[in-house]
Chain A
Amino acid sequence: MSGSLVCVGTGMTLGAHICPIASSYITQADVVFSLMSTGITERWVEEMHEDVRSLQPYYQEGKNRNITYNEMVNAILAEVRIGKKVTAVFYGHPGVFACVSHRAIDKAKKENFTAHMEAGISAEDCLYADLSIDPGKTGCINYEASQFMFYQRNIDPAAHLVLWQVGLAGDKSLGKFSTGKAYRQILVDLLLKTYPADHKVILYQAKVLPIDTMRAEYIALADLIDAELFMHTTLVIPPSEKMRPNQAILDKLAELDKQELKSSYRPKLTLVL
Chain B
Amino acid sequence: MSKVIQVLEQMSRDANGQNDDAINNLLAAAQLDTEITTAIINKDVITLERQLDVRPDIVCIIAPAEDDGDENEENDTEENTNNWIIGF
Contacts and interface: CB of A to CB of B under 8 A. Distances in A.
Q: Do A and B come from one complex?
A: yes
Interface in A193-244: 209-213, 231-232
B21 interface: no
Q: Is the interface of A mostly helix, strand, loop or mixed?
A: loop
A147 B45 contact: no
Contacts of A164: 63
A47 B5 contact: yes
A47 B81 contact: no
**Which of B1, B43, B44, B62 has its CB near the most chain A CB atoms (within 10 A)?**
B62
A164 B5 CA distance: 29
Interface string A37-59: 11110111001100000101001
B81 A43 contact: no
B5 A174 contact: no
A20 to B, nearest CB: 13
B65 A147 contact: yes
B35 interface: no
Interface residues of B, number: 35
Which size bracket describes the interface of A in this complex? 35 or more
B8 A100 contact: no
A75 to B, nearest CB: 15
Nearest to B72: A66
Contacts of B52: 39-40, 43
A70 interface: yes
A232 B63 CA distance: 12
Contact of B78 (A44, A63, A168): A63
Given A39-B54, A43-B5, A70-B73, A56 B62 contact: no
Nearest to B85: A173
21 contacts: A14-B9, A15-B10, A16-B12, A39-B52, A42-B58, A43-B2, A43-B54, A44-B8, A47-B5, A64-B76, A67-B76, A67-B77, A97-B62, A99-B63, A144-B65, A145-B65, A146-B65, A171-B65, A211-B48, A231-B60, A231-B61
Given A16-B13, A44-B9, A98-B63, 6 more contacts: A15-B11, A40-B49, A48-B1, A98-B62, A172-B65, A177-B61
Interface of B: 1-2, 5, 8-13, 40, 43-45, 48-49, 52, 54-56, 58-68, 73, 76-78, 81
Q: Pick the 10 closest A-B CB pairs, nearest first.
A: A39-B54, A146-B65, A15-B9, A15-B12, A210-B11, A16-B12, A37-B60, A98-B62, A97-B63, A59-B59
